[in-house]
Structure formats: C-alpha cells, structure tokens
Amino acid sequence: MQKSDENRKVDDSPARSRGRPRAFDREAALAQATRLFWIKGFEATSIADLTEAMGIGSPSLYAAFGSKEALYAEALRHYREDNEALVWAGFFSAGTAREAVKSLLMDSAAVLTGCVVDIPRGCMVTLSSVGSEGYVELGKLVRAARTVTLDRLKLRLNQAISGGEIPVSTDVHALARFIQTVQNGMSILARDGASRSELEAVAELAMLGWDTRTADAERGQG
Amino acid sequence: MQKSDENRKVDDSPARSRGRPRAFDREAALAQATRLFWIKGFEATSIADLTEAMGIGSPSLYAAFGSKEALYAEALRHYREDNEALVWAGFFSAGTAREAVKSLLMDSAAVLTGCVVDIPRGCMVTLSSVGSEGYVELGKLVRAARTVTLDRLKLRLNQAISGGEIPVSTDVHALARFIQTVQNGMSILARDGASRSELEAVAELAMLGWDTRTADAERGQG
DNA sequence: CTCTTTCTGTAATGATCGATACATAAATAG
DNA sequence: CTATTTATGTATCGATCATTACAGAAAGAG
C-alpha cells in the first residue's frame, strides 16, 4: 500500500500538514465579502471595508484569496451556489415548461426581495456593473453567469417543443429572451424597493400572455 | 427708464460682464462627461478621466461645475434632456394606450442599442448604481428619475380607463410595473450586447398578452 | 522540549483619488 | 493705454486606494 499517497487528502482538505492553522472561518468571511460586494459593487467596496466586515487583517485576506479580483470571483461563485438553488429548484422540478417558467419568475420575486432568507435585494449577477469598469476578466465571468439563465430557458423550451407542450413554430430564442428580460427587470425593481407582491404581480402578468405567445399563428400584430 | 436693470441680461445669459471668458464649450464638455459617466458609472469615472475627455484642466472643471457630484447631476439632466425625447415622443403622440406602450417599448429597443444615434448601450438612469454607493443625494436624484417612467405609464393607463379603452377593473399599478419591468430588463440586455431586433422581439412578446392582461376576468390563473 | 511552518497585526509602500493654491495669461471696462 | 476680473496650467494637497515587508505569535511535527 502506498501509504503516503492514499492517506493524504488530496482534493477535499486543504492538505496543510504543518504550521499555524488559519484562525478565521474562511466560508464565513467569504459570505461577508459576498454580501458587501453584492450591496456596494466591486469598485465601491474597498479592502478596508472587506477586512472590517470579515474581521481579519489585509494580509490574511490576500493569503486566503489572492487579490481583490480573485475574492470577487469567489464571492460570485459563493453567491451562485447559495442562491441559484432558491431560484431554480422549482424551475427544474416543474412538469411543464409553463410551470417551470412561472416557478422561476415567482421564486425570483420572493428571493430578489429578500423574503426567503435575509439577503440584499436584487441579483448580484444581474446588477453587477463590473464589466463596464475596465475589469475584463471579471466582466467575462459575470457575463458568462448571465448567459446561464438564457441557456436554461432555451433548453427547457426546446424540451417543451420535443414533448409537444408548445408548437414547433415557437421562437424559442425570443421567448427565452423575453423571460430573461422580465427577470432582469425584476432585479432592478427589487433593488429600488419594490415589494414581493408587486414583483409577483409582474410575474403573473408576464405569464398571462403565455398561451398567446406559444400559439402557432401570426406574431407581429401587437 | 431704469437702464441698469432693464439692459442687464438677468437669466438668459451668464451675466458675466468683465474678465476672461471661458475658453471651452461648456455643453460639449458636459456631453463628454455624460458619455463617460454613462459608460463607466460614477465611481469608476475619475476626475482625470473626465478632464482628459473634456479637454480641460481640473480647475476649469471645478470652476464650471463645482464638484464631481454636481457634474454627475448635471450630466444626468443633460442625458434626460437629450434622450428621453427619443424614447417618449411616440408614447405621447400615440392615440391609444396600447399604441403608446408599444411605441415606448419599440423605441426603447432602438435607442437602448444605440441604433438611433451613436450613444452607449442601455439607459444611464436605469443602470446607474450610484444610489448604492453612499452618495445619498445622487441616489435620490437617480431614483426620482426612475419613478418618472412609472408615473407616466400609470397616468396613461388611467386615461385609457377614463376613455373606455381598457376596463375599469384593470390593475393599473401592476400593469405599469410590468411594462416598467420589461423596459428595465431591456436595458440590461442592451448593455450585454443584445441586438435591436432581439429587443424588438421582446417588446412584441410583451405586447402579445395585452388583450389578456387588460381583460376583465380572472387574473391569477396562469 | 525545539524546530519548522504558517498565520496574524502593524505599518508602510507607490499609486491614485477628489479637490485646490498659486501665479500667469487673457479679455473686457473705462 | 491701464486696471480689473476671470479662466487656465502647473503643481500639489491630504486622504484613500490595493497591496505587501516585516517581525512576532501560534500551533503541529519530531
């Protein structure tokens, strides 16, 4: 038995063998950083803000996360892991595309207004403007995260076509764009203080035209 | 005749009588500043960026505009004067609320993608995050500008009720919120590079449910 | 225990931030 | 012309930015 190889925790554990262990909870610190980035944005959040909220010194921050940009990238990942399940669970468990989309919008209404758990308003990915500030890598990251919504919507709609739920003639891309637009718009309303019930009303109004939008016939009549 | 009072240009002209006149075009400099704030946001735009784009030194900037915050406030005003006419002209000239809303969304699709005149993508008001950065006064200004859209929509929908175009039972607030949501979402898509035709398709899909949404009967069915 | 390794707190780095002091240039009033 | 008034360019202010030396502290390995 190759003891030295099999006993070492290669991937799961940090694999640190000797020396002083980290004194702070990395996950808790990351959660604080995520919250701060979420509320204030990347540029407006300073290292001083972060170290204060995380309860650590700046050398510890850099030792644990590398740089401010790398910390933001990890905060983004942490955010998506924590919150996308809240928004997408109903979408993936729904039996029809119609119910999936409605779940997505209704759950978004609840999560975006901070009604499910105590989190800031609006979507960190949607409202991030880090791409327009000259941070190229972070911009790519955020934009890639944004396309996930569109991809999932198109995939589900195509499945609905295959299953016969909606007609083959449905413009999947346009319909997915529409749903994405509504969800994005709800983020902005949530940030500006709109209530959960207001966003739910918006979601229901968006769903009201579903049958018309998924009908075969003429589209551009208005 | 009180010559000293009547001959002086009190309000129209800058009322400067003696001394060196300003060497740069204030409006042109403001337009450059607006463009820069629009693209990069308030915090990410530095005074050095501004003075370079405006072609002036920082003392001239402060002499003409007072401070960075005051310059942003005036850039916001300049933006609204220049661009809201493009978006709202069709809305106000339309004969019906339905056509007004459709005009608003279709014109937004064109303007937000920079297809009408050469301007940055997305709406400066909608995408501004200056309210979340601790700039209280600017935040109020931006938020006030955002409510204008909702107010105009509700006013027009109420007129449509008075005129018999849509039933009295219409939930004006919810419907206005929905339209506002779509327009806001379009700003985000435009910033991320969506094309004019994509946004127009979104606008048409949003309009497709109009008859259903303005119908009397049951609302929450799906 | 000692040694080694790693983390933590203090303090400081050069760069850049928004905002100005100062002297000079420029243009009008008389 | 001279006197006055205002804008401009340079150069700089203190504050804050992200980042990092440095030394001491803490904990596992032996």
- A138-193 pLDDT, tens digit per residue, is 999 999 999 999 999 999 999 999 999 999 999 999 999 999 999 999 999 999 99
Residue A214: the pLDDT is: 86
Strand C: which residues 119-148 of B lie within 7 A (CB)? Answer: none
When CB atoms are compared, the residue of B43, B192, B209 closest to A208 is B209
Q: Are the beta carbons of B41 and A133 separated by less than 8 Å? A: yes
CA of B57 to C1' of C24 (A): 15
Q: Which of B132, B150, B170 would you mutate first to test chain A, the one with the most A CBs within 10 A?
A: B132
**How far off is chain A from B162, nearest CA to CA, in Å?**
22
Q: Which of B11, B147, B149, B128 is CA-nearest to residue B72?
A: B128
Residues A115/A120/A122/A124 CA torsion (nearest 10 deg): -130
A173: nearest CA in chain B? B198
Residue at shortest CA–C1' distance from C3: A19
Return all residues near B206 (Cβ < 8 A) that are at least 6 apart.
A178, A181, A209, B105, B178, B179, B182
Amino acid at B62: Y
The predicted model scores a pTM of 0.90
* Level-2 CATH architecture, domain A69-214: Orthogonal Bundle (1.10)
CB A101 within 8 A of CB A178: no
Which DSSP string do the residues of B23-40 spell out, in sequence order?
-S-HHHHHHHHHHHHHHH
- B132-186 pLDDT, tens digit per residue, is 888 999 999 999 999 999 999 999 999 999 999 999 999 999 999 999 999 999 9
**CA dist., res. A126 & res. A2, Å (int):** 49
- A115-136 pLDDT, tens digit per residue, is 999 999 999 999 999 888 889 9
- B20-30 pLDDT, tens digit per residue, is 888 899 999 99
Q: Is the CB of B63 under 7 A from strand C?
A: no
Residue A145: the pLDDT is: 96
A140: nearest CA in chain B? B192
Residue B102 has pLDDT above 70, yes or no: yes
When CB atoms are compared, the residue of B127, B174, B192 closest to A201 is B174
Residue B3 has pLDDT above 60, yes or no: no
Domain boundaries, chain A: 69-214
Computed over every residue of chain A, the mean pLDDT equals 90
Residue B17: the pLDDT is: 62
Return all residues near A180 (Cβ < 8 A) that are at least 6 apart.
A149, A150, A153, B185, B189
Residue A139: the pLDDT is: 95
Q: Which of A109, A135, A110, A116 is CA-nearest to residue A41?
A: A135
Residue A9: the pLDDT is: 33
Lowest mean pLDDT among A2-11, A182-191, B78-87: A2-11
| Strand D positions closer than 7 A to protein CB | 4-11, 16-22, 25-29
Residues of chain A contacting residue B178, judged by C-beta atoms under 8 Å apart = 201-202, 205-206
